[in-house]
Amino acid sequence: MAMPQPIFEVTRAPSLKVWSQSTITTFLRERKQYEGKVIEQCRVTGEDQAAVTRSIRSTLEPRVLEHVAHYILKQDAVSLSDDMLVAEMKRKVDTMLNGRVPEVTQLFGRELKMDLSEVDVEARIAAYFVKFDQLVEDNGHASMLGRGVAIDEQGRQRMKLRCWSS
């Protein structure tokens, strides 16, 4: 009996065409989803994940790569590694946009609402926290409000700041 061939959708790596905080945030989110799909595909087909996954370098628009290499990292584009690019992306995403402190209370008051029509309480709370994480990530508040490992010293310090500022 012949084995049917597995059918996969085309898994395209996201590309980064503009070096801005919002597009980098979207790129990193899509990249995480892309890597998850590749892992799943490789698990089924037995392919080597490193051979199938496109590098981050190759998914940056050439002009963006040149800009980041020359003006931000002050290196040749050929010497940049994926780790260096990811570190710079995370640095940019984790800092506040244009160095200004936005009105967080108004942002959350306007954007963060609990869906009281959801009857499943656990689903309602989960959706609320997912929306909170997305707002923090999209608006560059990860350094102030982002969640990390709760059991490390930095996690304890973040909780102290949150409790004392209330």
Q: How far is CA 21 from CA 4, 53, 93, 98, 105, in A?
A: 44, 24, 6, 10, 21
Tokens 């506040």 belong to: 96
Selected residue with higher pLDDT from 8 and 64? 64
pTM metric for this prediction: 0.63
Q: Is the pLDDT of residue 88 over 60?
A: yes
Burial 92-115 (b: 16+ CB within 10 A, else e): bbeeeeeeeeeeeeeebeeeeeee
Selected residue with higher pLDDT from 150 and 134? 134
Which among 44, 42, 38, 89 has a CA at the least distance from the CA of 64? Answer: 89
Q: Is the pLDDT of residue 166 over 50?
A: no
Average pLDDT over residues 132-157: 69
Q: Is the pLDDT of residue 137 over 50?
A: yes
Let me know how long the chain is: 166
Following DSSP, what letter does each residue of 100-119 receive, concatenated? ----HHHHHHHH----TT--
Distance separating alpha carbons of residues 2 and 4, to the nearest angstrom: 6
Q: Is the pLDDT of residue 149 over 90?
A: no
pLDDT digits (tens, 9 = 90+) for 10-60: 789 999 999 988 899 899 999 999 999 999 988 988 889 988 899 999 999
pLDDT value at residue 37: 92
The pLDDT-based confidence of 99 (bands split at 50, 70, 90) is: low
Q: Is the pLDDT of residue 164 over 60?
A: no
pLDDT value at residue 67: 92
State both tokens at 30: 């899509």
